[in-house]
Amino acid sequence: MSSFLCFCIVVATALLATAQSPLPLLTALTSQCWHESPFSTVALECATNVHSELVRPIQTVWTSSERATTKPRQYGPWTHKPVCSKPLQSLGTRLCVYTNSTFHGGRGISIVTTPKLAEQFAELPCFKEPSALQGINTFSGAWSVQETPGKGLGLVAKKQLKFKDAITAYTPALVALLEDELSTLDREKLYRIAVHQLPEATRYAYMNLAYIYGQLSVRVQDIVKANTFQLQVGGVNHLSVFPETSRLNHACGPNAQYYLDPARLTHFVHAVRPIAPGEEITIACTYRQHTMRLY
Ligand SMILES: *[C@@H]1O[C@H](CO)[C@@H](O)[C@H](O)[C@H]1NC(C)=O
């Protein structure tokens, strides 16, 4: 009971140790990991009103001017009307939820960002050219999710993999601009709208990802904290969560390596050495490592 009254003052300050790399390339790539996000130091607030926050319909929270429309409108590449926060001083603008629920054959994508940056997202090849995402978000046949000793779920090679073999290539379910101005609960409302607007399968995949704190009232952010990668769009860092890829565990001497392609909003993982069938596939520097230190 008392855990509902006051919970989760956790400040995550630990930084990831620089992983040993089998390739010089990794040095550049690890900089895309989310080491030092202000978000990771945002304390989840003590909330005495957790239950009332949960039952309050999120749609009522946002300003009425954002809701009142007389006729259906087009929202560019977005299938839903953008829902926005109040203007944020640190951004000089609002933070809004942009969803395209038909993105890439119905996978969907939700992006929490500023209106200006949303325009930049809309210009990316992944929205403009259907061929840009060819071969992405398709199962490579290289892996399966399995229980791994001491690490919970992980990705395990289903077949012999060679150096450079493609393992995963996925677009994120949720992308969110990093800010530390919104209160945790206000941010949660925005992120919940983003996840809620995703197609069912993608929403389900997201909500089933690992989390850190276990507090239901901040679950969507909790999942972001546990699974985030950094994606730069328009020169601004965004947190991004790739459901399939999130099952990859961290290792200091990983057998696979990831990179992010901002133009396609895609997280790629390739083998960096031969991987035997049944061997766990690992990457360096995931947030998972960070997560485990918090316990
Ligand atoms: C959603 O994204 C797809 C690209 O996957 C695009 O073809 C489609 O036009 C977008 N939806 C809207 C409403 O613009």
Which pLDDT score is estimated for 11? 24
Query: Model confidence at 287, in pLDDT bands (50, 70, 90)?
Result: very low
Q: List, as one string, the DSSP characters of the chain.
A: -HHHHS-------PPPPPPP-SSTHHHHHHTTS-SS-GGGGPPPPP-TTHHHHHHS-GGGGS-GGGT--SS---BTTBSS--EE-S-BTTTTB--EEEEETTHHHHT-EEEEE-HHHHHHHHTSHHHH-GGGGTTTTS--SSEEEEEETTTEEEEEESS-B-TT-EEEEE--SEEEE--S-S-HHHHHHHHHHHHHTS-HHHHHHHHTS--SS--GGGHHHHHHHHHEEEEEETTEEEEEE-TTGGGPEE-SS-SEEEEEETTTTEEEEEESS-B-TTPEEEESS-HHHHHHHT-
For ligand 1, is residue 108 a contact (CB within 6 Å)? no
Does 69 fall in a domain?
no
Residue 72: its pLDDT value, please?
A: 54
Is residue 191 pLDDT above 90, yes or no?
yes
| Whether the CB of 229 sits within 6 Å of ligand 1 | no
Burial class (CB in 10 A: 0-12, 13-18, 19+), 158: middle
Is the pLDDT at 118 greater than 50, yes or no? Answer: yes
pLDDT over 70 percentage in the chain:
72
pLDDT at 16: 27
Q: Given this model, what pLDDT does residue 41 score?
A: 37
Q: Tell me if 174 is assigned to some domain.
A: yes
Residue 28 has pLDDT above 70, yes or no: no
Q: Is residue 292 part of a domain?
A: no
Q: Report pLDDT digits (tens) over 220-279.
A: 999 999 999 999 999 999 999 999 998 998 888 899 999 999 999 999 999 999 999 999
Ligand 1: residue whose CA is nearest its atom 2 = 103
Instruction: Look at the chain and report how many structural domains it folds into.
Output: 1
More confident residue, 196 or 52: 196
For the chain, the average pLDDT equals 78
CA 130 to ligand 1 centroid distance, Å: 9
Distance 100 CA to ligand 1 centre (A): 6
151: CA distance to ligand 1 center in Å? 38
**Which residue's CA lies nearest to atom 9 of ligand 1?**
77
pLDDT digits (tens, 9 = 90+) for 161-171: 999 999 999 99
Confidence of residue 124 (pLDDT cuts 50, 70, 90): very high
Dihedral sign, Cα of residue 224, residue 29, residue 124, residue 205 = negative
Token representation of residue 262? 């901002």
Range(s) of the domain holding residue 156: 3-57+75-86+93-283
Per-residue pLDDT tens for 59-92? 434 444 444 455 556 888 999 999 999 999 999 9
pLDDT band at residue 49 under the 50/70/90 scheme = very low
C-alpha 39 – ligand 1 centre gap (Å): 30
Q: Is 107 in the pocket of ligand 1 (CB under 6 A)?
A: no
Model pLDDT, residue 25 = 32
CATH number at residue 134: 2.170.270.10
Average pLDDT in the 275-291 region? Answer: 73
Per-residue pLDDT, 227? 92
Rounded to the nearest whole angstrom, what is the distance from the C-alpha of residue 112 to the centroid of ligand 1? 17
Mutate to test the pocket of ligand 1, among 100, 126, 129, 175 (most ligand atoms within 8 A of CB): 100
Q: Does 79 fall in a domain?
A: yes
Atom of ligand 1 nearest to the CA of 77: 14
Span from the CA of 50 to the centroid of ligand 1 (angstroms): 36
Q: Let me know if residue 65 belongs to a domain.
A: no
Q: Is the CB of 237 under 6 A from ligand 1?
A: no
Looking at the CA of residue 104, tell me the nearest atom of ligand 1: 5
Q: 259 lies in a domain?
A: yes
- In this prediction, residue 51 carries a pLDDT of 35
User: How much is the pLDDT for 284?
Assistant: 87
pLDDT category, 127, cuts 50, 70, 90?
very high
What pLDDT was estimated at residue 73? Answer: 65
- Residue 67 placed within a domain: no
Query: Among 19-28, 72-81, 111-120, which range has the highest average pLDDT?
Result: 111-120
Which residue's CA is minimally distant from atom 10 of ligand 1? Answer: 77
pLDDT in tens, 7-23: 222 222 222 222 333 33
